[in-house]
Structure 1
Amino acid sequence: MGRSYTQLDLEERCAIARLHEGGQSIRQIAAALDRSPSSISRELKRNTGSGPRAEPYRPSYAQQQTRARRWSGSRLERNDALRDQVLGLLTQGWSPEQIAGRLKRDQGHTVIGVETIYRFVYAQATRTNQGQWRHYLPRAKYRRGRRPGKGGSPALHIKHRISLDQRPPSAADRQEPGHWEADFMLFSRYGQCVLALHERTSRFTLFLKTPDRKAEPTAKLLRRLLKPLPPDLRRSLTFDNGTEFAEHYRLNRKPLGLPTFFCDPHSPWQKGGVENAIGRFRRVLPRRTNLDHLDPRLILQAAAAANHIPRQCLDFRTPAEVFSQQVLHFERESTSRPSPG
């Protein structure tokens, strides 16, 4: 039966250093550690050097060198084609989850893991000391995690405000189309903003630059955007408690007749769909962007591109695919209904 070998561990390397400095021979060190003399000789030759500038044997350095020799790099470092494909999709705004899921859907098996992509990007940022690597990720964070915070709420001053707990229960599980959420993206320059309108089931999101956040123009814009949709795709609209939505009751009137609801104070997570969509869109429009120097058509193009990125929650279909199917379904339903006799 052949012999099995195990790597020297850090404790053994410390013993080698102590005995070697004490003048023990290679055979004496090997006998003390119950190792072969050839293993001890190879360990010392690898990690001390030779000649007049030979360094003393250092166990911590020897341990690091052993790990470095055994590590062959992450999969993205070893597979050039896969790395180029992943970085290309990250550049287009895809998240690691979307990349891993879509590749699995297209090829029928797991191609790469989500954590592998995250670790590769953050490792490259650390190894190269170049923070630009974080911009490959959707939110370009230096670290992964969240930073909670709270501010004031004008909820008590919004006329005809209806709390979210009165919204139909069918809106909660995202199975019934036609429930929307709205919010504004704000920027570092005062007064600049982009309106985000998000459909909860399909995750389809519209992004439109607006001249301001005044309540009356905001209500008129939302009315104009939602009015062309089939009635079954206009079931509810949810806001936070910003005063820019104070004229919400204009949407309740006929012919639109759209019920509107508001999150609890300090609870933006209750409209998490549009919050998530805005977070993703920050990759395209960072907070420091000057909208005065940006063609509004570029925002529409970026929104269209975002709606054509597959989502894990949609079984890696795109929001545009799901939303178009919803519209076609309700249009067919409306034309196939029998006329009253």
Structure 2
Amino acid sequence: MNKYKRLSFEEREEISRSLALRIGMRSIARALNRSPSTISREIRKGLGPKARWKYRAVKAHKRAWKNSRKRKLGHHRLNELPELFKIICEKLRLYWTPEQISNWLKKSYDDRQMHVSTETIYTYLYVLPRGQLRKELLNCLRRKQITRRKKGHTQKGQTSNLEDMISIEERPAEVADRSVPGHWEGDLIIGGQREQTALGTLVERTTRSVLLIPVKSKKAEDVRKSFAKEIKKLPKEMRVSMTYDQGREMAQHKLFTKETKMKVFFAHPRSPWERGTNENTNGLIRQFFPKNTMFNEISRREIKRVQHLLNDRPRKILGWSTPYEAMEELLR
């Protein structure tokens, strides 16, 4: 006989069909290349001696899966370290990924008992019994897909033709290689109400620091005023340039530059990879504000809470430091 493997669903279906035809256990075992004891045990589990002809593949497979999960949970390392699991739960509720949690634990604790791999966290979450805790924690892992908005293009292939745009091709090399801080990427995430509500997003290219900016509307004047108000709160060395797409909401870019002393560079049409940091961040933001969010109904306090959560997460690209820590290091 080969090394024992768990019965598959297909094998359980074959057992069910064979029993319905009154085929004996030894014949079933030969057909499946299994030992008679394996077939006998499978039929006997949970059914009792008189239930032989009531064997059902679906119920049997579900029962076996549940029992397997219970065994895994009982022997799982995190089941024996409740304090460690408590810390993991706290970070998951802050929307940290298992990878971020794993590397943060390694940086924060010398005790190897407090170290756990990314895969270990994932597997434990998925073998937890069904219930509110499992549902809550798995929801924290879920990343909403970002739905991109229509830009200020009148037809496919046409740009918005903003006046006096400075092309991304004229952007200094120091921006591309992220060697100097103070260079940002910007965008609007469009919400519900026929796409009339929006949220401004800015990401600093070196530290990955995020600014979430409530805007009154998509109108260029409202966007300029809201962006400028937030930008002017930053230290002078952290407001050098911004890279944006060619959306009509940035039509007042010259006035924005005059107010903030920040140059605005414009990406090529339909080239989101030229603002990749911002595009990736928008995906993270959608975890909190999904498609059709009515941003005019979200309080400024809630928006800033989400901003804090994003900036207080350790990031792989930053050597598992947080954007807050990276920014603080630069400003020393």
After TM superposition, the score normalised by the length of structure 2 is 0.72
Q: 2:109 aligns with which of 107, 110, 134?
A: 107
> How large is the RMSD of aligned CA atoms in angstroms?
4.3
**Are the equivalent residues in 1 in contact too, given 2:152–2:247 (CA < 8 A)?**
no
2:4 corresponds to which residue?
6
Q: 1:250 aligns with which of 251, 255, 259?
A: 255
Q: How far 1:206 moved relative to its partner?
A: 1.6
Contact 2:181 2:238 in 1 (8 A): yes
Name the residue aligned to 1:265. 269
Equivalent residue for 2:92?
90
TM-score for both structures, normalised by structure 1: 0.71
Which is higher, the Rg of structure 1 or of structure 2?
1
- Structure-to-structure mapping, 1:9-20, within 5 angstroms: 14=14
> Any conservation in 1 of the 2:160–2:247 contact (CA below 8 Å)?
no
Say if 2:147 and 2:291, in contact at 8 Å, map to a contact too: no
C-alpha change, 1:226 and 1:59, in structure 2 (3 Å) is: closer
Query: Which residue of structure 1 lines up, in the alignment, with residue 174 of structure 2?
Result: 170
Kindly indicate whether residue 257 of structure 2 is the aligned counterpart of residue 233 of structure 1. no
> Deviation digits for residues 153-195 of structure 1, max 9, x if unmatched?
3634201112223322222233321111122232213543332
Letter of the structure 1 residue corresponding to residue 104 of structure 2: R
Q: Deviations over 1:13-63 (max 9, x none)?
A: 75898599666575x887999977655654543375322x44355678666
Q: In structure 2, the residue corresponding to 1:55 is in which secondary structure? A: helix
State how far apart, in whole Å, the 1-side matches of 2:18 and 2:183 are: 71
User: Which aligned pairs between 1:37-52 and structure 2 lie closer than 5 A?
Assistant: 41-46=40-45, 49-51=48-50
Q: Describe the shift of the 1:45–1:228 C-alpha distance in structure 2 as closer, same or farther (beyond 3 A).
A: closer
Alpha-carbon distance in structure 1 between the residues aligned to 2:251 and 2:30? 84
> 1:52-98: CA deviations, max 9, x gaps?
x4435567866665555444346598465555433332222323332
**Counterparts of 1:1-341 in structure 2 under 5 Å?**
6-7=4-5, 14=14, 41-46=40-45, 49-51=48-50, 53-55=51-53, 68-71=66-69, 72-73=71-72, 75=76, 78=79, 81-107=83-109, 110-113=115-118, 116-117=121-122, 120=125, 135-137=139-141, 139=143, 141=144, 153=153, 155-189=159-193, 191-227=196-232, 229-253=234-258, 257-328=261-332
Aligned-pair distance for 1:244? 1.0
Structure 1: 5+ residue runs without aligned partners?
A: 329-341
Higher alpha-carbon deviation: 289-298 or 299-308: 289-298
Query: Hey, what's the Cα distance between the residues in 1 that align with 2:84 and 2:207?
Result: 29
Q: Secondary structure at the match of 2:87?
A: helix
* C-alpha distance in 2 between matches for 1:197 and 1:32: 64
Say whether the 8 Å CA contact 1:138–1:280 is kept in structure 2.
no
Structure-2 change in CA distance of 1:86 and 1:169 (3 Å): same
| Whole-angstrom CA distance in 1 between matches of 2:139 and 2:3 | 45
Distance 2:149 2:297 in 1: 31
Q: What code does the residue aligned with 2:186 have?
A: A
The alpha carbon displacement at 1:202 in A equals 0.7
- 1:157 & 1:266 partners in 2: Cα distance? 14
Length, aligned pairs only: 317
Cα pair 1:150 1:266 within 8 Å, conserved: no
Structure 1: how far apart are the matches of 2:39 and 2:289? 59
| Structure-1 separation of matches of 2:148 and 2:225 | 33
The C-alpha deviation readout for 1:118-138, integer Å capped at 9, x for no partner, is 8946x889999x987764235
AA in 2 matched with 1:89 = K
